[in-house]
Structure 1
């Protein structure tokens, strides 16, 4: 049998397995009970499927996860955040949505932690949520994921915050599962490697493996950019040919226009949002017996247990006290860890210093980048939130 025939047969089996999993969407829906308003719109087949994928099609775990998001959305009201509320956070262009998409039609969020302009984690996360909702609003029909393009220009030790990193991971993994297609960490400084070793355990295996480190002086990593983006559109800061830079006035005008569209997106009349099916666009089914599944489930379960314990404590703490305490202790931990790691790095060989960070021993199979031949994933191509 030819390799092409084998691949087709393998894909056919995975499609069959995928179709066998689809009834679980109905099981989750039944477990949720009667829904109405925005909650009913949010719980489309596509949305429920994302939670099932995030929990490896475990109905009980996916339902629990989705219920947490529904509670969070009813209280946090992410779709009701408007530009004028978070405009001060956006002033330096630390996060913004590009006007162009990647080659797969995914929205792109550029992040520049080196131009952080505020200190309160609460405001920073609220702005991130606004940007996530805006990126989803602008997804082309049939696409459901986005790209994070993180520029480390101007980044230094003062920009490191384990607290904000934890909050970011909680929001992304807990309330926007399967929304991130890939995160590009562009030209990260050497000292960031130390922080990455500390922060990476916060990420679930699927999220961790979507992170790609790219360095402008390394042709092998630059190929990632060429495979993902149209270089004529990509900004010059990331090796592209587009010379335009962030302009806050132009961006504010774009966002205010999008704010007008948001209520229509969440209107009961938006039948597309309510009924968009979850379709298999790639052979991304988790395979039966995959050694990576247990690793991810264990990681997720531990996170959930930790969250359950911390939720009760958080209810009795004030926001300011919590931030001040955590910020002080975490900053000390981060500084000590970075300093200790930098000392160790002095004894490394030149070849070891050139190695790329971010590799994983997890056996979980992850999304293919265009041009890569490794791994397969379940890519949710729905345009629903």
Structure 2
């Protein structure tokens, strides 16, 4: 999602090479792959890692190999909604049901709604939603947008610096070039102190993607208007939509997306796929019964 720190003069002697040649060079450098590693390393994926390092193949290779090792251990594609559902009860992070004007997936973050203290659980919840946003990117889109609402946020309910640092590390190391922009909506003045610390863990390229937006400043609101249809944008972000996060509805959506994830990556254990299928079936039956009740009324 983020890019690693790098020097603009890295590998200038190779800058003239067409990008596709660099992709092929990186593919040759990482050698034969199989299973999910092979599926993960598409040409688009390799381009993201190369872009993160200014097309330096050696540094991109090291970063990609570290990601493959992390994915083999952490198994982000195997995280399922029931495992992280508790983290999502307050709607502190969720995939929006709308896109930006270019069709990018949107993650809504509300740090003021923090409801747990588990560092590991919080990170798995975020990783799960990143993976979910990625499988729902429209054809031809590689990046997503973050909308961050600071209503209710304070230093008392902010995540610990350790969590912020670990989160930044995972995002920068394993999701390079996945972030198109992050809009920080109406952050309190005290957030500036927290931001100065967080910025230390982010590379300059990522920091440039962060936009501070204040509802009482027309100039900053114009930044949002250029990126979003205000009829679709929630009222909490100055838009016109009054749709709010519904945990049960989102859980039904995630159950279906879990089945989609299992189909894309394949399940190592049949129990996992069976559980997802059961959840989807159960939710669909529940919806059907509700519709029948409405009809009888």
Task: Determine if the TM-score, normalized by the shorter chain, exceeds 0.5.
Answer: yes
Q: Deviations over 1:243-278 (max 9, x none)?
A: 01111000000000100000222259xxxxxxxxxx
| Aligned-partner SS, 2:22 | helix
Q: CA deviation at 1:206?
A: 1.0
Q: TM-score, normalised by structure 1?
A: 0.64
Q: Distance in 1 between matches of 2:179 and 2:224?
A: 16
Q: Distance in 2 between matches of 1:18 and 1:47?
A: 21
For residues 1-385 of structure 1, what are the structure 2 equivalents within 5 Å? 20-160=18-158, 161-266=160-265
Q: Distance in 2 between matches of 1:122 and 1:61?
A: 28
Q: Deviations over 1:339-375 (max 9, x none)?
A: xxxxxxxxxxxxxxxxxxxxxxxxxxxxxxxxxxxxx
Q: Deviations over 1:158-202 (max 9, x none)?
A: 122211211121111100000000001100000001111122111
Q: After TM superposition, what 4+ stretches of structure 1 lie above 3 angstroms from structure 2?
A: none
Structure 2 counterpart of 1:315: none
Q: CA deviation at 1:22?
A: 2.3
Name stretches of at least 5 consecutive residues in structure 2 with no aligned partner. 1-14, 268-297
Distance 1:18 1:109, change over 3 A: farther
Q: Deviations over 1:304-348 (max 9, x none)?
A: xxxxxxxxxxxxxxxxxxxxxxxxxxxxxxxxxxxxxxxxxxxxx
Q: Distance in 2 between matches of 1:102 and 1:167?
A: 28
| Aligned-partner SS, 2:156 | helix
Name stretches of at least 5 consecutive residues in structure 1 with no aligned partner. 1-16, 269-385
Q: CA RMSD in A?
A: 1.3
The count of residues paired between Structure 1 and Structure 2 equals 252
| Aligned-partner SS, 1:100 | coil
Q: Distance in 1 between matches of 2:36 and 2:18?
A: 29
The structure whose RCO (Cα within 8 Å, separation 6+) is larger is 1
Q: Distance in 1 between matches of 2:215 and 2:95?
A: 22
